[in-house]
Structure 1
Amino acid sequence: MTRSPGTPLPPPKARRRLREAASLTQAQLADRMGVTRATVRTWESGRTTPRGRRREAYAELLKTLAEEEPAAAEPEAQAESGAQPAPVPVVVAVRTGPGSPAEAADSLVLPAKALSAEEWREGEPEREPTPDPKAEPKPVALTPAQAFDALYEFGTPALVRQTYLLTGRRELARESVERAFQTAWENWPEVARDRDPVGWVRAVAYEYALSPWQRFRPRNRHPEPPPADPGDRTLLNTLIRLPPRHRRTLLLYDGVGLDLPETAAETEASTPATANRLLNARRAMADRLPELADPEVLHRRLAEVASNERLRAAKPPTVRVGSERRARFWTRAAIAFTAALIGTTALALRTAPTHYEPPVSPGETVRGVPPKVAPGALSDEELELRQKLRDQMQDGPERLTPRLE
């Protein structure tokens, strides 16, 4: 199941670039949009996008900033005139031979291929057996399911290994990547137009894997078998001991190979804060493993540890079916909850009184009225006297008659 896109927005990196080119801070932009600074960070990192009128206002503001920036004036004019946008690097192709998904599975870094946004929406370029270098690639009209399957097969191997280094758990890594791709299929129109679809999925997978609620799951309370190699085991244990934010920053910068601004945008932090996290993470790794002080050696060792694990993932149709099943489940749950709420409201309206009934006031003592006298129970003396009077004769010679003397 997919949702229709709203007002088109620039990619997350372009949003941040336009704001910085206009010398606006995130707090200033948040004041102009009427939102919080954290919301602006999520918009610029690509985790969330505004909706409704706020999306239209945000798009209009970014359009104004793009018109004011000389470097962005030409792309904006091309978009308004309907010209073909310039090619942008996105990860889409499923190739054979060098650079194939099987080869990319042994590395943490995903190779990129320059494709235009229109080519990515319609499908990957057609590949001839002997392509002409001067010939322009012709897009093949792929269905959304075929484009999703191509992206899944290409990006899943590296993403599962990255998530394994992030969590140290094989099953959690597989589940996080599958859940991220399910979310991507639910938002496929947005993901298909993103300049970095793999980065979109990676951010969702990392958030799911590092969620604090994972520690409460019974399956995650028991440790998993460590790597067989002692060096890999020491490296993984040292990496897991880092704070989650430092661990994620180190993996994105030294493992995946993002630059500092991209790492800051994906982790929703400022560039100085990201640099401090990276330095602290490198220092902690070097204190435990001095041979990893060189970033190049650290990158190579992270790739080796991830490649030594045999991590599997479900097939693309299974992920798509699971996403659609989950969407149907939550839709039905929302409908059932709404129906129950309507039924409860109708029952309350049916059984509620139709007119006002004043409450009964409490009793009050009335003065001046004597209390009602009523015979009470006789005491023991009174009962004995009554019995004595009943036993004696009322007349006869035995009874004395009083007389005057």
Structure 2
Amino acid sequence: MSTAAAILKKGWCPGALRPMQSGDGLIVRVRPRVGRFDLDAARMLADAAQRLGNGHIDLTRRANLQIRGLSDNRLDEQQAELGRFGLLDDDAGSEAVRNVMVAPLAERGSVAYGIAERLEEILAGDPRLRGLPAKFGVLVDDGGPASIADERADMALRVASGFVAFGIDTPHGTRWLGACASRDAVELVVTAMQAVLECVPRTRMRDLSAAALSKLQLAVMPKLQPLPPLDPARGRVIGMLDDAAGVAAPFGRLEAGQLRRLADLAMMAGARDLRLSPWRTLYMRVRDAAAGQALLEGARAIGLIVDERDPLLRIEACPGAPACVSGTVDARGDARRLARLMAERRFGGTVHVSGCAKGCARSAPSDLVLVGEAGRYGVVRNGTARDAADRTIGPSDLELLLPEPSHG
């Protein structure tokens, strides 16, 4: 199935059928159905990453998983393994458009799970929808304790008591347009996507012209009712929440051995699968609180994050050099040094360490941004990697960026 011609140029969103070339080899992105994979599939992914790649596995902000460091002559073997576990699409076109992100604790049989499952089927099966803009995505939230409602997606559904809220992405975040019955939610999203397909030029929701946005609203508003009040979304939770445990990977990076061991810990805790999230956090339903605590302690021992106060949760960092050909700095190594400084100096802000000016790891502003260029860092305060730097420092000068704690 794999050919060198199928390898996409950098800047495209990779897949399992169309990988992307990076500095450490090919990146293969796996999009599990409804955002989760069973424990046997997790072990397979770990083994494949170790045997066929370089052992590095990335959790993405789109609730996907990426295996790094593959070579073209091993892609057929990788794809065969994914196919054996139901993780391979029929073709690259359906794979690319099947971008549905679902709340990690939505259960099979729930309204949110059913909507997400049906949307995936429609996106993969309707050739007309392959004309949607690249990276176009839909979010389905269940209103539960690990809500993804505040994350960005071109279209968003939020299941509430007795209705489903519908929203679209704008330059200022999600704009909730109204509500519909749960039985009408899938049809509503398909109507909205068809309206996008009629736009010229076709673009992401946040970039639609005023005329295109008005046309879309005319298409969906007759299907909507006034929106009742929505409860605040809780967002990411690390540690125990109800009967589930959440563990995060530093900078979204798992090593093959960590994933294999986490699958074993999950099995001992009574979990049946691992659920992905946009926060690079994995969630597992566990047997009881004691089993969950044992899982968390085991996860801590293998280097995963189980504490909401861990400063690593406030740092975003791309792989940097040498994994990325655009990077000239060890972004994640320097980010770990900054995390230690943040703890020592009680710095409570957010940090983004980017290997280059593209800022792939984070598009939103951070309190402190370091942008790699020619082996040094441009320093940006309260901005993004694309903003002008105030000054330039070397990696050895990181301690100058954070003030000493006040003892007064």
Same fold (TM > 0.5):
no
In our comparison, the structure showing a higher alpha carbon Rg is 1
The answer to which structure, 1 or 2, has the higher relative contact order (CA under 8 A, 6+ apart) is: 1
Q: Of Structure 1 and Structure 2, which has the larger fraction of its residues in helix?
A: 1
